[in-house]
């Protein structure tokens, strides 16, 4: 009954408000959906009933387990000891700071020391690690070794190294899963920490993603259908149980982060054509990360429930692996995320580069892209065009943060391409100062860390502290700036500029 009502409404809307006289089986139809869950299509090969105190099932796809980077002092000691230029006692001092048990916040103090030390692991002092991961030794990343993987056959070939889909299709290209699928914060049955964080922020209103499928024959079988995917300026509506509410209306913006594709629907599964560029919102949990996912040779598959109330999908293509590195690393900063989430973005950099398999660059003779697939879970919605063309809204209070993110991303890509160490733009988490210095104030071994651990240096007023206030090179605030109120604008953001500060 619900399905009949929704299709009737869609049919009337498609006819400009006049009921169509054609048979229902051959009438124009529209189905809309809002995305409620959006995550990298990593598989988890563990046993469903596994339970053991204090242990996570490794799974057949990651026989060596999930990443353990910086999970304990021994892991951090090994990471710091790899730099031959460090003082002999430095790795031990960083791993277990003397006097830590006497401070009021031992975990916070140790966290700050680890973050700072891990941010400088290059071949010599003064080169920041996460902006210049190529300048550090590859610590090694456990990679997925299973044969089953979700995704698409993007290159039209069946290679020995390809995955096989769960339903038996050969030739699946998803090297992002191979490179990154054992990373702890992205690994689980829908409960990985960063999956949860990203979906939670999306559902809270950070951004909204919608899909609209339409055709002229039948919503279950249509040889001439259309799929649209894109950004909506309308926040997701949740029901009383915190789920995604059915059948609310969302506008779809046909500017950035939007793609329209031809498709075929068979038994309720809509399969798009493969397009040179597929634009859609990217996975984000902060405003600075938001933007265009930009899949090359992209495809979309949507499995719609018979009642039209839900759908699941896969979105895939080749993504620039340097973009993926930056989007994950600089959500906050590489050190914070590494220590908290047990990721090592230096390992990630090398794993992505090693597994790149698309977007061949004739100038370098290497691949700029890595095959990838994202999972979608969707809820029925009315996806409508706005009354007039509009652009993606801008959060004015976060424009500066967005610009800083784009600047550090640009410096990282430039360094990877030129092998010339790049500066840390002021205002980034990588340049956070004097957070660690304040954190070790109670530590009896503080002088060792204050004189040994590296940090960026900027001209007075260029550097910023953790509160975004301009500081001198000693960390003292030299000017008070009023914090801008959060506002939304549809005007384009100011032009972005790269960093000019020197390391």
Those residues whose C-beta lies under 8 Å from the C-beta of residue 143, and which sit 6 or more positions away, are 178, 179, 181, 182, 351, 355
- How far apart are alpha carbons 318 and 296 in whole angstroms? 5
**pLDDT surpassing 90 at residue 210:** yes
Q: Tell me, what's the pLDDT at 23? A: 44
Residue 404: name the closest of 333, 323, 499 by CA.
499
pLDDT digits (tens, 9 = 90+) for 153-184: 999 999 999 999 999 999 999 999 999 999 88
Those residues whose C-beta lies under 8 Å from the C-beta of residue 113, and which sit 6 or more positions away, are 94, 97, 436, 439, 440, 449, 453
Q: Tell me, what's the pLDDT at 491? A: 56
Which contacts qualify for 236-241: CB closer than 8 Å, 24 or more apart?
A: 236/34, 236/36, 236/202, 236/203, 236/205, 236/208, 238/203
**pLDDT surpassing 80 at residue 17:** no
Q: Tell me, what's the pLDDT at 471? A: 83
- How far apart are alpha carbons 38 and 195 in whole angstroms? 8
Q: Tell me, what's the pLDDT at 503? A: 37
* Tokens of residue 432, six digits: 């956070």
**pLDDT surpassing 80 at residue 391:** yes
pLDDT digits (tens, 9 = 90+) for 219-249: 999 999 999 999 999 999 999 998 999 999 9
The pLDDT-based confidence of 499 (bands split at 50, 70, 90) is very low
On average, the pLDDT of the chain sits at: 88
* Tokens of residue 475, six digits: 């960390």
- How far apart are alpha carbons 389 and 252 in whole angstroms? 10
* Tokens of residue 460, six digits: 């007075």
The mean-pLDDT minimum among 95-109, 122-136, 189-203 falls in: 189-203
The mean-pLDDT minimum among 47-51, 107-111, 258-262 falls in: 47-51
Q: Tell me, what's the pLDDT at 420? A: 96
Q: What's 158-210 look like in SS3?
A: CCCCCEECCCCCCCEECHHHHHHCCCHHHCCCCCCHHHHHHHHHHHHCCCEEE
* Tokens of residue 328, six digits: 């994950």
Q: Tell me, what's the pLDDT at 47? A: 63
Mean pLDDT across 4-31: 56
Those residues whose C-beta lies under 8 Å from the C-beta of residue 9, and which sit 6 or more positions away, are 382
**pLDDT surpassing 50 at residue 422:** yes
Out of 143-147, 192-196, 275-279, 495-499, the most confident range is 275-279
Rg (CA), the chain: 25
CA-CA-CA-CA dihedral for 423, 429, 431, 435, to nearest 10: -170
């Amino acid at each position: 009954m619900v399905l009949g009502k929704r299709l009737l409404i869609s049919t009337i809307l498609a006819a400009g408000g006049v009921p169509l006289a054609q048979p229902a089986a051959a009438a124009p139809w529209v189905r809309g959906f809002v995305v409620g869950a959006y995550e990298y299509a990593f598989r988890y090969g563990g046993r469903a009933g596994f339970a053991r105190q204090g242990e996570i099932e490794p799974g057949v796809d990651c026989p060596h387990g999930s990443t353990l980077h910086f999970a304990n002092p021994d892991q951090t000691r090994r990471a710091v000891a790899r730099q031959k230029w460090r003082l002999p006692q430095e790795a031990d001092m960083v791993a277990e700071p003397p006097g830590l048990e006497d401070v009021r916040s031992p975990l916070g103090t140790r966290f700050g020391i680890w973050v700072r030390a891990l941010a400088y692991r290059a071949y010599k002092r003064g080169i920041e690690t996460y902006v210049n991961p190529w300048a550090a030794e590859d610590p090694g990343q456990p990679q997925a070794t299973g044969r089953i993987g979700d995704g698409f056959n993007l290159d039209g070939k069946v290679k020995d190294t390809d995955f096989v889909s769960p339903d038996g299709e050969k030739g699946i290209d998803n090297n992002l899963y191979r490179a990154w699928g054992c990373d702890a914060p992205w690994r689980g049955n829908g409960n990985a920490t960063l999956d949860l964080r990203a979906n939670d922020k999306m559902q809270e209103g950070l951004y909204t993603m919608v899909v609209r499928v339409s055709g002229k024959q039948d919503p279950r079988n249509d040889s001439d259908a259309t799929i649209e995917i894109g950004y909506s300026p309308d926040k997701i509506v949740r029901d009383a149980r915190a789920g995604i509410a059915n059948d609310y209306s969302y506008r779809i913006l046909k500017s950035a982060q939007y793609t329209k594709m031809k498709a075929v629907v068979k038994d309720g599964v809509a399969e798009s054509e493969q397009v040179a560029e597929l634009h859609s919102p990217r996975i984000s949990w902060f405003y600075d990360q938001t933007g265009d996912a930009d899949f090359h040779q992209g495809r979309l598959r949507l499995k719609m429930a018979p009642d039209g109330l839900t759908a699941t999908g896969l979105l895939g293509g080749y993504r620039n692996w340097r973009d993926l590195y930056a989007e994950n690393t600089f959500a906050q900063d590489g050190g914070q995320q590494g220590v908290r989430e047990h990721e090592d973005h230096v390992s990630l950099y090398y794993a992505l580069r090693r597994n790149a398999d698309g977007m061949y660059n004739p100038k370098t003779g290497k691949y700029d892209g890595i095959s990838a697939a994202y999972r979608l879970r969707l809820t029925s919605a009315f996806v409508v065009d706005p009354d007039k063309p509009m652009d993606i809204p801008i959060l004015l209070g976060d424009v500066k943060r967005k610009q800083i993110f784009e600047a550090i991303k640009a410096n990282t890509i430039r360094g990877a391409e030129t092998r010339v160490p790049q500066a840390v733009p002021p205002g980034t988490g990588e340049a956070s100062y004097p957070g660690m210095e304040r954190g070790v104030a109670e530590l009896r071994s503080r002088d060792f860390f204050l004189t040994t651990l590296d940090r960026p240096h900027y001209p007075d007023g260029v550097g910023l502290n953790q509160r975004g206030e301009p500081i001198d090179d000693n960390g003292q605030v030299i000017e008070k700036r009023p914090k801008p109120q959060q506002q939304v604008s549809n005007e384009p953001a100011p032009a972005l500029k790269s960093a000019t500060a020197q390391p």
